[in-house]
Amino acid sequence: MHHQVILIHPAAPAKPPPGVSCNGCGVCCLAEPCPLGMLVGRRTHGACAAVQWDGVRYRCGLAERAGGWLGRLVRRSIGAGRGCDSSAEVAGSH
């Protein structure tokens, strides 16, 4: 079993079950970058360089800044609107 420790803002919403709409919990982006995040951030593991905390939830900085067709491409790349696809199990702090 693989264990990874990621730091999540204490006010972040709880991770939804797979398939449920994204709520900005940040678990997927803080655990590893998506393929587009790997390209832009030039890293293959660890937190995505583009993930941003907005005071309420985590958001993709690439999707927030890109507009028009590029924004649609970014949102498609990160799976926006398709529901949570992270199978990570989150344990509480001790």
Q: Where are the domains of the chain?
A: 1-83
Q: From CA 16, how far away is CA 30, in angstroms rounded?
A: 15
pLDDT-derived band of residue 93, with 50, 70 and 90 as boundaries? low
Q: Quick one: average pLDDT of 63-69? A: 88
Mean pLDDT of the chain: 89
The CB density around residue 92, as the number of other CB atoms within 10 Å, is 5
Give me the half-sphere count of Cα atoms (radius 13 Å) on the Cβ side of residue 83.
6
pTM, two decimals, is 0.86
Phi, psi torsion values for 59, nearest 5 degrees: -135, 155
Q: Quick one: average pLDDT of 27-37? A: 92
What are the beta bridge partners of residue 51? 60
- pLDDT of residue 3 exceeding 90, the answer is no
